[in-house]
Amino acid sequence: MRLVVTGGGTGGHTYPALTAVRTLQARLAAEGRALETLWIGTADGLEARVAPAAGIPFTTVATGKIRRSKNPIKLASPANVKDMARVPLGVIQARKAVDRFRPDVVLATGGYVAVPAGLAARMCHRPLVLHEQTVRLGLANRKLAASAARICVSSESTLELLSESARRVTVVTGNPVRPEVLTGHADKAVQALGLWGFDRQLPTVYVTGGAQGAQQINELIGDVLPWLLGMANVVHQCGPDNVDGLRVRAAGLPAELQGRYYLTGFVGPELPDVLALADVVVSRSGAGTLAELTALGKPAVFVPLASSAGNEQAHNARHLEQVGAAVALTGEVAADGLRNAVGPLLADAQLRRAMAERARAYGRPDAADRLVDVILSVAASG
């Protein structure tokens, strides 16, 4: 079977695509079949590192990023005009790549790089499967929806936001979660990180702002740290550039509280074990984070990134809050707001269990398999 995959720019688009490719490879291998894959991306997107590292042949195309604004004059900015002029070249390059490779199906997971390859799929009469990670279709997927044989979405709530014609070809699969995330062990986190000062009678909070950290979350945690450590152990992934400042702040804590605080710039292969250890997670609310935390059934307090495209992180967080699967802290967030959100969860194990159950009910740990089902179905009928 031959698959073209396109999408990237950020981890939110790249990792679901990679997980889908790996799941499809395993499915075909079990049937004695092979998968040939070509990833079409940009030279400076995350996919340019991820795909080759996974042994997936990779080719680049020109593309343009639209800088969104409610002001139509700003939409016509010189940067936008220059970038949009690159799209036709990207479509020509993508069409050549698709024409040469002759895939059975094209999978697009969003990001502006998906547009040239998605349009090339239509021009080359190759079936296109879209995957959307967020509740609302991203800009790239909105542009490609009319060309798609199937649109795979992560949430039932997306259906009501689609046109009637789009709904007819839409399947709710969930957002693929890296399988290793689901296999963590709490005791391994204690061993790997040396968390010997943790009081295992207390709940553990995992704080993360993503690979680079989040200044807003770091400052909030710094402001409530003595109070927080009085109620819980804390693993704080703060971003490599923020470790020194937070370490100085933590140095003034009593020794007992210092033992309950593990500060790190980056959490690597031990992430599944840290998630297994965590009773509550404080984080941004990107689509990948939501997929992982709901698949695991983790109570969460979300501090959405206000500048996310289309304000999607706030939309994601509020959606989970409405079903009782998380707490969303949107707008201007102060230390008191964080205390009021986290405090009841730390004080009441039953409240944590109830939120965990609602999160798990919303999660789809089998999302990658569901997406692969769709890809195989489209390839067989295409």
Domain ranges of the chain: 2-177+366-381, 179-362
Q: How many CA atoms are closer than 13 Å to the CA of 150, on its beta-carbon side?
A: 22
User: How far is it, in rounded angstroms, from Cα 123 to Cα 126?
Assistant: 8
Q: What topology is assigned to 179-362 in CATH?
A: Rossmann fold (3.40.50)
- Residue 80's pLDDT is 56
Judge whether 2-177+366-381 and 179-362 match in fold.
yes
Query: 2-6 and 170-172: which strand pairing?
Result: unpaired
Task: List the pLDDT tens digit at each of the 382 positions of the chain.
Answer: 999 999 998 888 999 999 999 999 999 999 999 999 999 999 999 999 999 999 999 999 998 665 455 555 555 566 555 666 667 899 999 999 999 999 999 999 999 999 999 999 999 999 999 999 988 898 899 999 999 999 999 989 899 999 999 999 999 999 999 999 999 999 999 999 999 999 999 999 999 987 666 889 999 999 999 999 999 999 999 988 889 989 998 998 999 999 999 999 999 999 999 999 999 999 999 999 999 999 999 999 999 987 666 678 898 899 899 999 999 998 888 999 999 999 999 999 999 999 999 999 999 999 999 999 999 999 999 7
Q: Which two tokens stand for residue 73?
A: 């004059």
pLDDT at residue number 86: 67
Report the CATH superfamily, name and number, of domain 2-177+366-381. Glycogen Phosphorylase B; (3.40.50.2000)
Beta-sheet pairing, 36-41 with 58-60? parallel
Q: How far is CA 243 from CA 125, 164, 222, in A?
A: 51, 50, 12
Q: pTM of the entire structure?
A: 0.86
Q: Check residue 203 and give its pLDDT.
A: 98
Helix segments in the chain, DSSP class H: 11-30, 47-53, 72-75, 78-84, 87-101, 114-123, 139-144, 164-168, 186-193, 215-231, 243-251, 255-258, 271-277, 287-296, 312-322, 335-347, 349-362, 367-381
The CA-based angle 189-195-201, given to 5 degrees, is 95
